[in-house]
Chains A and B, each alone.
Chain A
Amino acid sequence: MAASRFWTTPGSDSEEEDSDYDEEIENGGENADEPTPNRYLRGNNASDSDDSDGQKRVVRSAKDKRFEEMSATVDQMKNAMKINDWVSLQESFDKINKQLEKVMRVTESEKVPSLYIKALVMLEDFLNQAMGNKDARKKMSSSNAKALNSMKQKLKKNNKQYEDLINKYREHPESEEEKDEDEEDEEEEETDSEIEEDPSKIVMSGTEDEEDEEEDDRDNLTEAGWERKMSKRDKLMDKQFMKDPSEITWDTVNKKFKEVVAARGRKGTGRFEQVEQLTFLTKVAKTPAQKLEILFSVVSAQFDVNPGLSGHMPINVWKKCVQNMFVILDILVQYSNIVVDDMVEIDENESQKGADYNGTIRVWGNLVAFLERIDAEFFKSLQCIDPHTREYVERLRDEPMFLVLAQNVQDYLERKGDFKAASKVALRRVELIYYKPQEVYDAMRKLAEQSEDGHTGGESGEEPRIEESRGPPAFIVVQEIVPRKPTFPENSRTLMDILVSLIYKYGDERTKARAMLCDIYHHALLDEFSTSRDLLLMSHLQDSIQHMDISTQILFNRAMAQLGLCAFRNGLVTEGHSCLSELYTGGRVKELLAQGVVQNRFHEKTPEQERLERRRQMPYHMHINLELLEAVHLICAMLLEVPNIAANVYDAKRKVISKAYRKVLEASEKQTFTGPPENVKDHVMAATRALMKGDFQKAFDVITSLDVWKLLRNRENVLDMLKVKIKEEALRTYLFTYYSSYDSLSLDQLTKLFDLSEAQIHSIVSKMMINEELHANWDQPTGCIVFHDVGPTRLQALAFQLTEKLSILAESNERAIEARIGGGGGLDLPLRRRDNQDYAAGTSAGGRWQDNLSFGQGRQGGSTGRTGYSSGGRAFAFNQAAGGGYSRDRTGYRGTGHSSRAVRGSQMDSSTRMVSLNRGLRA
């Protein structure tokens, strides 16, 4: 720079360009065999304007500016060369590569500017020189030497791309540009015409204009940049191959293919670019096997497009991927001697064997894996898309397409005899079908058929295009052999049966388990409770499900939930409750069914966990309605619990059927003011309150006012069933609660109260009598129920409770003494203590059980004695009006009192013994 300042008139504010310009001349002079870059610059500039006029500059400023930048970088490189500074040289090299992209974009030509080539040549020469000069290398600083080495590698790699041009340039360093220019024009025309001929370049773009349009469609700009550059390179390849189609050999294609594949996964390799390149290669593939090979790579490259685990594959790429799979299948079907295998190391030149080759040709690939991946991407996309948008619906429409593909793959695999793989594919199909009730299934079928017509219209625009694009270079023509339209059986069940039986026959453990669960779910969906329950019980899945992977566990939960709903629809309350109660014990239904991420207040999830959980989520259209589920669960629990609570007033804690329901009930009882019901829980609680009083009508009204019922298919039937159930349970509750207030109760009265037929009431009440829930008997002539007041009095109940407490106390006393005896020891203490505890726990359980038993006996003895007495007492009750009551009471009391006192006595004995032992120890 200093030199240039001297050269120009000092003090004048000459433009930088000028000085650069001067310098370049100087440099050019120095470096004789290198043409100055500014000549190119000038040449370019000369065409529009020499005097850099502001106005005109504006017109083409983008292009010029890029070139100027580039030439400035070249200058920097030259300077660096002079001082042998490889570090800055390296920087400049990176910079120029970046600038090259920009230039290419601006000039919109596919030709690399000669300026760049010149710089490359210059660099290469200098590099060789530097490498040759060993002494100089030794003298270099370490960082410099390092830069030199990396530069060498970079340059080598980079120059490969432009080898032809560099060679050409080396041959004719002077005339290069002129010719280039001409050639460029020529080529431009050529390509343009080509493009016009072949408007259906499926890959990315036809003409530049189109690309511009397309660019707008791209998600973001940087990608667009990539794309552009790529298409340019593509065109380069195009040229390479298209100039003389006859020259393209298997080898060239194979070489290029290997090259492209080798670049996979490397930094700086554009993913879209790769897909395009490979797609292009499929067009020029020489043999079907090669085409297949390349297509496999295309598909896997398409899978690579989205690198993250969380995001999903762009939908258009997905669709293309599916189309590619179709083509693969076409080839495989057409050339049945081609075998796809991923186990064997395949000979590199296997794909050279042409279509007429007779033996089997092995191609590496795994159809099932690809299919599963496509399915997974489909699933993921549904997870990510907001379910309330149109996009989601649109996406769902792609499902038939995938189903067809899966069907084709399965057919192919079955033909090939690979039933194991076929069963895997079948599972994928099952998993798309199992949650669809017949209506949804029909809708899908209709949609598929409709879009069939529309598809042939819409797709005919697309499909032939694909074929055509392959057409002109048309080495391999693939006919559409595999059906593109879905064929669904009328009934979803038939389809499920076919698929599931295949899986049961050939699938591995996990596949079978999943298929079984789907099968159960589907049966339950179709209201076939007994079938699906039998399937579940026969498969013993409940026992092994803990050891399975989480997604299968979720599937299991879903199946259980559906089974519960099914049981409820069929009026099987107990079964429904036992299916659902487990889901509701932890209060984590959402998590268990993977229908939404729950934020837990008490322990924060790590982001890792949360991501995992998010990945497990079910797509919205597969959800089981949680409100319905909750309503069904609570209603089942209510129908079971309300009579149970009424029957066991005194020892409420002993017999709990549904803990979740009890919790809700307690919470609602604590409320001082109960407003009108709002959510499902409120409704059920309001119904519970009515039911406890035996007011079935009100309970039923409250339940029907829930709006989740409209989700049920046969709503009327279900509600009718529910009404009958509520009446029955109301009757039971009423009898439990108020029987002590009656001496007898007429059947007529009950039919009036509960709107049930006499036969129903008769059967319910008789059942209660048989189960010893109700101490009464029928008086047939009068149609009355006669009650016997034999339930334990409050005092007796309390006495039972007290004995229970005492036994607990005695046990813990015993445990204490054991700990004390064992506690004197030395080191083996913790172990022993644990043993003791276990033992104590065991004994406590056993003891309690025994106690219960003895109480039961005591009670029984008491009651039988009493009943015996009371019947006697009744006989002469007329004589002893007042005394009978007392004495009866007393004997009863004595009977129970004795047995319990005996128990207590023994406990007291043991406790006193313990105390004395204790003392002895201490003393």
Chain B
Amino acid sequence: MANMARSFLQVAATEEVASPLRVVQIEGLVILKIIKHCKEFSPALVTGQLLGLDVGSVLEVTNCFPFPIREEDEEIEAEGANYQLEMMRCLREVNVDNNTVGWYQSTLLGSYQTVELIETFMNYQENIRRCVCIIYDPSKSNQGVLALKALKLSDSFMELYRNNNFTGEKLREKNLSWVDIFEEIPIKVSNSALISAFMTELEADSPVTQCDYDRLKLSTNPFLERNVEFLIECMDDLSMDQQKFQYYYRNLSRQQAQQQAWLQKRRAENMARRAAGEDPLPEEDPSNPIFKPVPEPSRLDSFLITNQISNYCNQINGVAGQSFCRLYLMKGLHEN
């Protein structure tokens, strides 16, 4: 009984403190739909809605539907919202899960870490307690890898973002670095038993699939070139950001010097006043413009850029490693 009671208590407690998201469980159907949508529009970036259920520490994604390609126009955006609602209504009528659990989007060489993504995420987060973003990279998938990622923002980051202060001090307090913005959640693909059985039936006799052939492709240059190009762009952005900071620090130090000078002057004055038997003047003067704090530029941008860079570097590293393997393999084959 006591046990029971404790477990009830436990249940109550766990319900209050939501268990952290551990796994995103995606239906095979959803993955196929995403791949199809993203690949068809490949150079253009597309998005779509994820539907499913939130079960404890597992987020089940059971269905999805694509959004029409967004254009920078307010009217069309409003239409997009209508389309979304309409779609949800229709799906409910045919008895499909119609809980929004996040969205998916395609990306080009993993260049998804943008302010827009964070904004969208925050929007979703306001309505849905637990949501996820699935990123699919069609260009990478061409190399025979299923480039699918489930992402969410870290809690500490979200908190900071809500308060909108990305000053150096706050970041240090939270001990938040650029690595801690996004959290990647493992993806588990689940299929119904029927489908699994059917798949086994479908499986070909040969041990090699098309994917394996893709993996053996030796041309790595275009991919590397793209990555390096993106890296160069990131460097430019980062330099710009750095300049901003430099400018800020210059201003700050100038202001500090001014403040110091002012303070010394005021102290000397106070000494004189004290000697003359008068009340000293306050050592703070909020009306003085030199005490107005210089706004510190947000570090969000540089964090995101750093994220991007690390992403590109990882990709390059991965590709390079694989390429080396392949090249050695080829060499070995030739020698034989």
Contacts and interface: CB of A to CB of B under 8 A. Distances in A.
Interface of A: 793-795, 798-799, 801-802, 805-806, 808-809, 812-813, 815-816, 819-820, 823, 826-827, 829-830, 833, 880, 883, 886-887, 890, 922
B232 A816 contact: no
Contact of A880 (B225, B257, B260, B334): B334
21 contacts: A794-B221, A798-B229, A798-B232, A805-B235, A808-B235, A809-B238, A809-B239, A812-B242, A812-B246, A813-B242, A816-B242, A819-B253, A826-B257, A827-B260, A827-B261, A880-B334, A886-B330, A887-B331, A890-B327, A922-B168, A922-B172
Given A808-B239, A880-B334, A801 B246 contact: no
B253 A833 contact: yes
A905 B224 CA distance: 19
Nearest to A807: B235
Determine chain B's interface SS by DSSP, over half rule: helix
Given A794-B225, A816-B246, 10 more contacts: A795-B225, A795-B228, A798-B225, A809-B242, A815-B246, A819-B250, A823-B249, A827-B257, A833-B250, A883-B334
A819 B239 contact: no
Contact of B232 (A793, A801, A880): A801
B331 A830 contact: no
Determine chain A's interface SS by DSSP, over half rule: helix
B330 A812 contact: no
A778 to B, nearest CB: 32
A806 B312 CA distance: 15
Interface string B90-105: 0000000000000000
B257 A812 contact: no
A805 B242 contact: no
B189 to A, nearest CB: 35
Nearest to B245: A816
B246 A805 contact: no
Contacts of A813: 242
B21 to A, nearest CB: 31
Given A812-B239, A812-B246, A883-B334, A823 B253 contact: yes
Interface string B256-271: 1100110000000000
A794 B223 CA distance: 12
Nearest to B218: A886
A802 B253 contact: no
A690 B264 CA distance: 70
B249 A820 contact: yes
Contact of A809 (B235, B260, B330): B235
Contacts of A798: 225, 228-229, 232
B331 A883 contact: yes
B236 interface: yes
Nearest to A805: B235
A883 B218 CA distance: 12
Contacts of A820: 249
A827 B243 CA distance: 24
A805 B236 contact: yes
Interface string B23-53: 0000000000000000000000000000000
A883 B334 CA distance: 7
A922 B88 CA distance: 52
Q: Which 3 A-B pairs have the closest CB atoms?
A: A805-B235, A823-B253, A798-B228
A479 to B, nearest CB: 81
Contacts of B331: 883, 887
A826 B260 contact: yes
Contacts of B218: 886
Nearest to A808: B239
Contacts of B243: 812
Nearest to B243: A812
Contacts of B253: 819, 823, 829, 833
A903 B331 CA distance: 29
A774 to B, nearest CB: 24
A780 to B, nearest CB: 36
B224 to A, nearest CB: 6
Interface in B241-298: 242-243, 245-246, 249-250, 252-254, 256-257, 260-261
Contacts of A801: 232
Contacts of A830: 254, 257
A289 B254 CA distance: 75
B245 A795 contact: no
B231 interface: yes
Contact of B330 (A794, A819, A829, A883): A883
A886 B327 CA distance: 8
Nearest to B249: A819
Interface in B171-201: 172
A344 B26 CA distance: 110
Interface string B214-240: 000010010011001101100110110
A794 B221 CA distance: 9
Nearest to B261: A827
Nearest to A793: B221
Contacts of A808: 235, 239
A878 to B, nearest CB: 14
Contacts of B236: 805
B255 to A, nearest CB: 11
Nearest to A820: B249
Interface string B306-336: 0000000000000000000001001100100
A780 B331 CA distance: 37
Contacts of A819: 246, 249-250, 253
Interface string B47-90: 00000000000000000000000000000000000000000000
A692 B218 CA distance: 35
Contact of B257 (A794, A809, A829, A922): A829
A838 to B, nearest CB: 15
